[in-house]
Amino acid sequence: MVDTNSVWSRTRATLSEAASLTQDLSVDVCVLGAGIAGLLTADALLDRGLSVAVLERASVGSGQTGLTTAHLTAVLDSRYYMLEREQGPEGAALTAESHTAAIAHIEQLSQRAGLLCEFERVDGYLYASDPSSESELSQEADAAIRAGLHVQAVEHIPLPFASGRALKFARQAQFHPMKLLAGLARRIESRGGRIFLQTHVDAIETGIPAIVHTQRGHQVRASSVVVATNTPINAIFSMHTKQAPYRTYALAAPVRRGVLPHGLYWDTEDPYHYVRMAQAPEAGLPADREWVIVGGEDHKVGQSDDPKSGWTMLEQWLRKRLPMVETPRYRWSGQVHEPADGLGFIGKSPGSENVFLITGHSGNGTTYGSLAALLLSDLVLGRENRWQHLYDPSRKPLGRSSLRRFAHENLNVARKYAEWLTPGNVDSVQEIPNGEGAVIRRGLKKIAVYVDPAGCAHERSAVCPHLGGVVHWNGAEKSWDCPCHGSRFDAYGHVLVGPAKQDLAGANEPARERVERPSHYRS
């Protein structure tokens, strides 16, 4: 039977069991999110002598960090030759420099602090899926070398299947994300940082100090707030036009240890695929086996007619190329946000002086999490950083290709709002099978109906409380997914993934969402 959690989820590494916030608190910095970006940033701020509190809606690593495939790389989804056109040669060089520094930061931290997270330096390979993409690799090699990366053209990759020519990027890395978080949480708490779990943030009140409001009524006053929640829950509109949410899929299958060389491997297909090897023996492997992890088959959130096909296509891809692997034992999916100009957003939230955010990581969330720690530990203290303009959240897409992507993604969102006028997926609750969901129209309203395995119907408003998109049923993961900005809710309407902060409203209630409030506002 295939486990639908990530291969990291069953680690026996001791994770923080911190309590929830039960009283008001004042600190220098309040960090929202206990994933890799949040905990690495909190750790870096403690290094600077600041008092820090981390608030997490669920548990350590329960968000996208627990669903990553944990590549640490300076090889980006956006090619360096495209970055040169968009950001200029200096911008491309700073991109390579910052991502290389981010990998080194985790390596040095794991060694210095004794964080046993299976960190391993490996080579990365970007290879042509067919001869037509080899010219793209030639452009990329030249641009990456100009940007300062160590790149070598090779005839094929070390994996035992036929590939086109490839680029070898030296000294990339991989690691066990949950073991890193376990060590980071212990390190933060041992140095006076405070972590509060099961603490749902309801709103951020900007001003000096900023006030973080939690769902249970407690407040955290802070000189600065860092929003490290994968997608920002504070910038209700400004950031979501500049990035698009995608679901991405992964499988883990056993293979005999030593058969396949460790490395990071990416093809040039669209959607693309990638491979790496991992140990993770606590996930149920004997000593003579290790994991092959394959990922890809991305699609926009809420915009797949058959979400299960992502895993099906990955398994077919894997078996065709690596037939020696055994039956996959884990399959999972995560969420990534693709920025229009190919670079993530790290810095001051637009319109705020003391609220900072981290988002737009594409498929490189773990590397960006480390990069964010290096950058924000300067910005929070008001210090200049040579990378800050490159990743500034207030920037606008300016290059030709980024403007095309910006227009394409926002037109896609606009079309989804037209679903307010369409019929439901079915005409009545009786048409919905047990264990499934569908949207029905009831007069002017659209209702999200989930029929549980016992046949009981559960109705919620189908309107996403973020910005009013109509949610879609995801039968693969039993969730309601918003196709506009990527919010996700469980079958009963409880929020799983932002930017929404509130659950789906009751079927007869208006959808409401509390937004970031200026300092002069009082409810």
CATH of residue 259's domain is 3.30.9.10
Is 151 a residue whose pLDDT tops 60?
A: yes
Domain housing 300: 118-173+242-339
Residues 309 and 443 in one domain: no
Is 249 a residue whose pLDDT tops 50?
A: yes
d(CA 120, CA 510): 51
Residues 435 and 323 in one domain: no
Is 81 a residue whose pLDDT tops 90?
A: yes
Read off the pLDDT of each residue in 255-281 and give the average, rounded to a whole number: 93
Instruction: Tell me, yes or no, whether 378 lies in a domain.
Output: no
Local confidence band at 519 (pLDDT 50, 70, 90 cut-offs): very low
Is 509 a residue whose pLDDT tops 70?
A: no
Residues 279 and 143 in one domain: yes
Residues 426 and 320 in one domain: no
* Least confident span in 14-18, 291-295, 396-400: 14-18
Instruction: Tell me, yes or no, whether 142 lies in a domain.
Output: yes
What pTM does this model have? 0.93
Q: What is the pLDDT of residue 237?
A: 66
Read off the pLDDT of each residue in 189-198 and give the average, rounded to a whole number: 96
Local structure of 151: helix, strand or coil? strand
For residue 437, the domain's CATH number is: 2.102.10.10
Is 523 a residue whose pLDDT tops 70?
A: no
Q: What is the pLDDT of residue 7?
A: 93
State which amino acid sits at residue 208: I
Q: What is the DSSP letter of 198?
A: S
Instruction: Tell me, yes or no, whether 484 lies in a domain.
Output: yes
Residues 324 and 433 in one domain: no
Q: What is the pLDDT of residue 421?
A: 76
Residues 6 or more apart whose Cβ sits within 8 Å of residue 523: 517
239 vs 300, more confident:
300
Is 95 a residue whose pLDDT tops 80?
A: yes
Local structure of 265: helix, strand or coil? strand
Instruction: Tell me, yes or no, whether 316 lies in a domain.
Output: yes
Residues 426 and 335 in one domain: no
Q: Cα dist. 276→71, 252, 309, 352 in Å?
A: 8, 10, 21, 40
Read off the pLDDT of each residue in 500-512 and give the average, rounded to a whole number: 77
Local structure of 349: helix, strand or coil? coil
With 0-12 / 13-18 / 19 or more C-beta atoms within 10 angstroms meaning exposed / middle / buried, residue 80 is buried
Read off the pLDDT of each residue in 484-504 and give the average, rounded to a whole number: 92
d(CA 380, CA 297): 37
Is 70 a residue whose pLDDT tops 50?
A: yes
Please state, as a whole number, how many other Cβ atoms lie within 10 Å of the Cβ of residue 404. 12
Residues 259 and 127 in one domain: yes
Residues 255 and 135 in one domain: yes
Q: What is the pLDDT of residue 512?
A: 44
Q: How many CA atoms lie within 13 A of 186 on its CB side?
A: 13
Q: What is the pLDDT of residue 1?
A: 59
Q: Cα dist. 204→17, 34, 220 in Å?
A: 25, 17, 10
Using one digit for the tens of pLDDT, what is the confidence trace for 358-404? Answer: 999 888 999 999 999 999 999 999 999 999 999 999 998 777 777 77
Residues 6 or more apart whose Cβ sits within 8 Å of residue 517: 203, 204, 205, 206, 523
Using one digit for the tens of pLDDT, what is the confidence trace for 4-15? Answer: 789 998 775 556
Residues 332 and 429 in one domain: no
Local confidence band at 189 (pLDDT 50, 70, 90 cut-offs): very high
Residues 250 and 140 in one domain: yes
Instruction: Tell me, yes or no, whether 346 lies in a domain.
Output: no
Last residue of a domain, one of 291, 318, 339: 339
Nearest to 122 by CA among 107, 142, 108, 132: 107
Last residue of a domain, one of 323, 339, 355: 339
Q: What is the pLDDT of residue 135?
A: 87
Residues 163 and 277 in one domain: yes
Instruction: Tell me, yes or no, whether 356 lies in a domain.
Output: no
The tokens 């390579």 sit on which residue? 96
Instruction: Tell me, yes or no, whether 382 lies in a domain.
Output: no
285 vs 381, more confident:
381
Using one digit for the tens of pLDDT, what is the confidence trace for 297-343? Answer: 999 998 988 888 999 999 999 999 999 999 999 999 999 999 988 89
Q: Left (φ > 0), alpha (ψ -120 to 50) or beta: where does 179 sit?
A: alpha
Q: What is the pLDDT of residue 404?
A: 74
Mean pLDDT of the chain: 91
Task: State how many domains the chain has.
Answer: 2
What letters, b where the CB count within 10 A reaches 16 and e where it falls short, cover 136-160? ebeebbebbeebbbebeeeeebebe
Residues 122 and 255 in one domain: yes
Instruction: Tell me, yes or no, whether 156 lies in a domain.
Output: yes
Q: Is the dihedral of CA 404, 409, 414, 416 positive or negative?
A: positive
Q: What is the pLDDT of residue 270?
A: 87
